[in-house]
Amino acid sequence: MSVHFANQKKRPVYWENTDGDSQKFWAGHILRHGKKYILARKWGKIGTKGQSMEQVFDDQYEVEKVLDRLIWGKESKGYKAKF
């Protein structure tokens, strides 16, 4: 079974926060694996491997809602979309 990007909305997938002394990145995107949706995230200090996390969802609407909420939280902390 193959895995496909399921990002129905055209949203960025990578953000950076370089305000002040902060040098952090955050990335998040949705993958489809069969009938499941995987929210893959990665974060850390720019220039490092960082940490990663995956969550599995049954519903595309639910995974998109969670990702949108995470994006809003990051942007409210000063993260800027890069691509």
- Residue 71 is predicted with a pLDDT of 96
Extents of the domains making up the chain: 3-81
pLDDT-flagged residues of the chain (< 50): none
CA distance 27 to 13: 5
Tell me the per-residue pLDDT of 1-24, one tens digit each, with 9 for 90 and over: 666 666 557 788 999 999 999 999
Locate the DSSP E strands across the chain: 3-5, 14-17, 24-33, 36-45, 51-57, 80-81
CA distance 46 to 26: 9
The third-level CATH classification (topology) of the domain covering 3-81 is q64v53_bacfr protein fold (2.20.140)
- Residue 7 is predicted with a pLDDT of 54
